[in-house]
Amino acid sequence: MKSLLPWLALSAAALTTLPAFAADTVNGNDQWVLRFGAATVHPDSDTGHLAGMKAKVDSSTRPSIDLEYLLTPNWGIDVLGALPFRHEVRLNGTKAATTKQLPPTVGINYHFMPNEQVSPFVGAGINFTHFYDSRGEGLLKGAHVTIDDSWGVAARAGVDFKLNDSWLITADLRWIRIRSDVKVGGTKVGQARIDPIVYGFSVGYRF
């Protein structure tokens, strides 16, 4: 829990101070966009080597939530969250461990055509990934496995499809830099270079 505190503090500070900067920049009561959907975390195919063996982390899909505050019609700051993702780790193709992770991300987005029915956007931000409940399986069954938390940059691109003044559909993808030391029995066996692409699809409500 202690490892989550810096990100929680950053998120709370960002969202509570934004209205002071944006109160006069967006007309009407539509400065917030709340999106509900699903996200798929697809790790890099080259995850590195652990204990001298090629590591592979599988994909995971979970429900997601995204809250964006519009500083201006073009610029917005968002916070991404999701239910915990569960991944299987394979070494040389054989199951070796499972882990869960939460990858909250804070970012700033630029919307190219905010008043059009179709509006593409790009963004960049900071990600904090918290790994927990890691367990040795298969090759490492019974072993104590831990994966360190990770801070890294994130990039985003997507498009909003406006249904009406309140509702929209969003499709996006993110690249997140995730590098984590892996330990077995307290001994470091390598670094996992996960660096996933995150595919998202959501329905949003603007208010």
pTM of the predicted model as reported, rounded to 2 decimal places: 0.82
pLDDT surpasses 80 at 17 = no
Domain layout of the chain by residue ranges: 2-16+33-206
pLDDT reported for residue 28: 54
pLDDT digits over 138-169, tens only?
989 989 999 999 999 999 999 999 999 999 99
Q: 164 — phi, psi (to 5°)?
A: -160, -165
pLDDT surpasses 80 at 171 = yes
For residue 18, what are the contacts with CB-CB under 8 A and spacing of at least 6? 69, 71, 77
Answer CATH for 2-16+33-206 from 3.40.430.10, 1.10.10.10, 2.120.10.30, 2.40.160.20: 2.40.160.20
* Whole-number Å distance between alpha carbons of 112 and 106: 20
3 state DSSP class of 179? strand
- The tokens describing 67, both together, are 């809250």
pLDDT band at 68 (very low <50, low <70, confident <90, very high): very high
pLDDT digits over 80-101, tens only?
999 999 999 999 999 999 999 9
CA angle 129, 104, 2 (to 5 degrees): 60
